[in-house]
């Protein structure tokens, strides 16, 4: 006996009775998320910024004019669903591989079939690779020439940031779309639409109390698959009434879905996004947010020494001389973590985090060193002023080295107005006005005024006519020279 069945493109296939029974059994055994998976763009819930009317991706799918695509985002955001919708709508041949199980031999087979299909019938091939970040470099390289010449249109799906996990050559030939976690309203719509879908629970009528619905939505955390898996577990574990009704209470919902472990991949987006938020929260003077991200990293098992290193960097980059003690505290926290380990190491980490968040801020040192690095890159190294050059060796004076140098400690306030920057190099350090640096700025302004005044009056101690001052001020010149010579020899 024969039975007709529509394939995913709506074409009629003829199966024998055993094949049909097997297919029906397969349909009933599929997870709920697969049974109610959308088949058209209009059925997809969420991702309006990508799939709303008139968007680039939607127009490309509807016109069946696709280039290679990479979909990335957290689990349960619709990456595989979107690929299957494309399979339903495209006139191209659609085939798929899972990068976890596929090898180079599978890729070669798909590529050869695609070449034959294109050469014999002019038919394009769309290859969907799920978990594409699991392909190694050799597998990704094997795809490249055929993506480049159009033999294959690649659609990749990944939970990892493709800029870290996918070859740059493939990325440059693909359009990249990020799918975001679903919002609460999207999850609520998905839940209610599923309960009304006859494919979901045939022969059952399922209802949820409001508290149960809210609990499932909250703990799904934007993951549609997780929401549907929890709903299915709740329904299957609840005996129906004689007339086929199932009522899900809050207690049943709570048992069906629990808070999952923190999603935090130490080499992926979770790692980089969280440490970025941590640093920016300290920089933004929000101790609560900084402590939250610290707790998130510690709970996820982040190396506390990595966090401590970031504290040390932030102490100099973001606090700087507005509160110089911040660097001491950060280094002490790093040392404490090294010495006492975890879990107690969380305490000095938290202390340093709060201090850096609340301390006055200055990035003037950070900006100044980068400005001078750019200056050196732009103009190259300028000649050191003659009076600042090393003058310890015989014949140095004959070369003009050291002549006119004045020992700064001999001046009032241990300062002498003389040139230190090479000719043509601008002053690029501009101190901040907060904390300790706010006090130092007054001294700097006074010293610069003295220098500028000396320079304008022609009294700068750079003149070779100026009397030479002693260079060491009670130091042993012979010892100094020996040390300098030893250093240069090494």
Q: What is the pLDDT of residues 111-130, one digit of tens each?
A: 999 999 999 999 999 999 99
Specify the pLDDT at position 285. Answer: 95
Q: Is 468 exposed, middle or buried (0-12, 13-18, 19+ CB in 10 A)?
A: middle
Beta strands at 125-130 and 152-158: parallel, antiparallel or unpaired: parallel
Segment 344-357 shows an average pLDDT of 96
Position with higher pLDDT, 354 vs 488: 354
**334 close to 308: Cβ distance less than 8 angstroms:** yes
Q: Is 155 exposed, middle or buried (0-12, 13-18, 19+ CB in 10 A)?
A: buried
Helix (H, G, I), strand (E, B) or coil at 192: helix
Residue 264 pLDDT level (bands cut at 50, 70, 90): low
Residue 273 confidence (pLDDT) above 90: no
152: closest CA among 101, 98, 107, 85?
A: 107
Specify the pLDDT at position 444. Answer: 85
Helix (H, G, I), strand (E, B) or coil at 155: strand
Specify the pLDDT at position 450. Answer: 82
CA angle in degrees (0–180, nearest 5) for 244-248-254: 150
Specify the pLDDT at position 335. Answer: 95
Highest mean pLDDT among 5-14, 244-253, 379-388: 244-253
Specify the pLDDT at position 456. Answer: 45
Give the pair of three-digit tokens for residue 405. Answer: 């140098």
193: closest CA among 24, 31, 30, 46?
A: 46
Distances, alpha carbon 470 to alpha carbons 65, 69, 100, 129, 334, in Å: 80, 72, 74, 75, 43
Give the pair of three-digit tokens for residue 265. Answer: 């991949």
Residue-wise pLDDT tens digits, 82-117? 999 999 999 999 999 999 998 888 999 999 999 999
What whole-number distance in Å separates Cα of residue 282 and Cα of residue 356? 6
Residue-wise pLDDT tens digits, 192-218? 999 999 999 998 999 999 999 999 999
Residue 10 pLDDT level (bands cut at 50, 70, 90): very low
Residue 168's Cβ-side half-sphere holds a number of Cα atoms within 13 Å equal to: 0
CA angle in degrees (0–180, nearest 5) for 298-302-308: 85
What whole-number distance in Å separates Cα of residue 111 and Cα of residue 147? 10
Give the pair of three-digit tokens for residue 236. Answer: 């299957």
Position with higher pLDDT, 454 vs 322: 322
Q: Residue 469 is inside which H or E element, if any?
A: none
Specify the pLDDT at position 259. Answer: 67
> What whole-number percentage of the chain has pLDDT above 70?
84
Q: Does pTM surpass 0.75?
A: no
**CB under 8 Å to 432, separation ≥6 — which residues?**
320, 321, 322, 361, 362, 363, 364, 438, 441
Helix (H, G, I), strand (E, B) or coil at 141: helix
> What whole-number percentage of the chain has pLDDT above 90?
55
Residue 15 confidence (pLDDT) above 60: no
Residue 161 confidence (pLDDT) above 60: yes
Residue 275 confidence (pLDDT) above 60: yes
**124 close to 118: Cβ distance less than 8 angstroms:** yes
Residue 462 confidence (pLDDT) above 80: no
What whole-number distance in Å separates Cα of residue 40 and Cα of residue 61? 11
What whole-number distance in Å separates Cα of residue 341 and Cα of residue 200? 51
Residue 6 pLDDT level (bands cut at 50, 70, 90): very low
Give the pair of three-digit tokens for residue 292. Answer: 């939250």
Give the pair of three-digit tokens for residue 105. Answer: 């031999």
Segment 54-65 shows an average pLDDT of 94
Specify the pLDDT at position 390. Answer: 81
**177 close to 71: Cβ distance less than 8 angstroms:** yes
What whole-number distance in Å separates Cα of residue 93 and Cα of residue 71? 19
Residue 458 confidence (pLDDT) above 50: no
Decide if domain 269-361 falls under CATH 1.20.272.10: yes
Residue 4 pLDDT level (bands cut at 50, 70, 90): very low
Residue-wise pLDDT tens digits, 465-489? 333 434 433 334 444 444 444 444 3
Residue 54 confidence (pLDDT) above 60: yes
What whole-number distance in Å separates Cα of residue 13 and Cα of residue 484? 89
Helix runs in 410-459, H state only = 435-456
Class level of CATH domain 380-456: mainly alpha
Distance of CA 144 to the CA centre of its chain: 25
**223 close to 75: Cβ distance less than 8 angstroms:** yes
- Average pLDDT over the chain reads 84
Specify the pLDDT at position 475. Answer: 39
Helix runs in 210-324, H state only = 210-220, 224-236, 250-256, 269-283, 287-299, 304-314
Residue 267 pLDDT level (bands cut at 50, 70, 90): low
Residue 265 pLDDT level (bands cut at 50, 70, 90): low
Per-domain residue ranges of the chain: 47-178, 184-256, 269-361, 380-456
What whole-number distance in Å separates Cα of residue 300 and Cα of residue 266? 9
Residue-wise pLDDT tens digits, 126-145? 999 999 999 988 888 889 99
Specify the pLDDT at position 260. Answer: 65
437: closest CA among 328, 364, 330, 367?
A: 364
Specify the pLDDT at position 16. Answer: 60
Residue-wise pLDDT tens digits, 363-408? 999 999 999 899 888 888 888 888 878 878 877 777 878 877 878 8
Looking at 176-180, 200-204, 235-239, 445-449, which range is the least confident one?
Answer: 445-449
* Domain 47-178, architecture per CATH: 3-Layer(aba) Sandwich (3.40)
Decide if domain 184-256 falls under CATH 1.10.287.70: no
């Amino acid at each position: 006996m024969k039975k007709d069945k529509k394939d995913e493109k709506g074409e009629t296939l003829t199966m024998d009775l055993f094949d049909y029974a097997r297919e029906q059994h397969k349909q009933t055994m599929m997870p709920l998320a697969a049974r109610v998976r959308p088949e058209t763009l209009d059925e997809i819930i969420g991702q309006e910024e990508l799939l709303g009317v008139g968007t680039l991706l939607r127009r490309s799918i509807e016109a069946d004019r696709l280039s290679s695509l990479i979909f990335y985002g957290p689990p349960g955001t619709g990456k595989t669903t979107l690929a299957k919708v494309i399979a339903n709508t495209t006139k191209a041949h659609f085939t798929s591989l899972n990068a976890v199980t596929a090898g180079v031999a599978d890729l070669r087979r798909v590529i050869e079939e695609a070449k034959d299909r294109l050469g014999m019938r002019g038919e394009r091939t769309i290859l969907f690779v799920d978990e594409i970040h699991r392909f190694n470099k050799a597998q990704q390289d094997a795809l490249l020439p055929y993506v480049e010449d159009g033999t294959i249109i690649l659609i990749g799906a990944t939970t990892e940031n493709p800029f870290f996990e996918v070859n740059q050559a493939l990325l440059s030939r693909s359009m990249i779309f990020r799918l975001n976690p679903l919002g609460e309203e999207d999850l609520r719509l998905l839940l209610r639409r599923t309960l009304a879908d006859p494919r979901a629970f045939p022969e059952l009528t399922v209802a949820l109390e409001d508290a149960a619905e809210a609990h499932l939505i909250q703990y799904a955390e934007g993951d549609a698959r997780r929401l549907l898996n929890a709903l299915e577990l709740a329904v299957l574990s609840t005996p129906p009434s004689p007339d086929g009704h199932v009522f899900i209470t809050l207690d049943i919902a709570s048992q069906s879905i629990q808070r999952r472990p923190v999603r935090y991949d130490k080499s992926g987006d979770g790692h980089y996004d969280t440490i970025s938020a941590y640093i920016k929260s300290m920089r933004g003077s929000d101790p609560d947010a900084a402590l939250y991200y610290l707790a998130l990293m510690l709970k996820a098992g982040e190396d506390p020494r990595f966090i401590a290193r970031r504290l040390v960097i932030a102490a100099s980059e973001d606090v700087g001389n507005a509160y110089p003690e911040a660097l001491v505290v950060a280094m002490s926290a790093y040392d404490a973590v090294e010495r006492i380990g975890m879990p107690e190491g969380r305490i000095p980490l938290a202390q340093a985090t709060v201090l850096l968040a609340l301390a006055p801020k200055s990035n003037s040192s950070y900006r100044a060193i980068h400005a001078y690095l750019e200056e050196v890159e732009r103009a190259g190294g300028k000649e050191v002023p003659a009076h600042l050059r090393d003058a310890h060796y015989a014949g140095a004076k004959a070369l003009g080295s050291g002549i006119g140098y004045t020992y700064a400690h001999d001046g009032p306030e241990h300062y002498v107005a003389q040139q230190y920057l090479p000719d043509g190099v601008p002053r690029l350090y501009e101190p901040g006005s907060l904390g300790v640096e706010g006090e130092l700025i007054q001294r700097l302004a006074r010293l610069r005024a003295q220098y500028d005044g000396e320079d304008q009056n022609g009294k700068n101690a750079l003149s070779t006519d100026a009397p030479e001052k002693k260079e060491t001020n009670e130091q042993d010149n012979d010892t100094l020279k020996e040390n300098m010579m030893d250093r240069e020899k090494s």
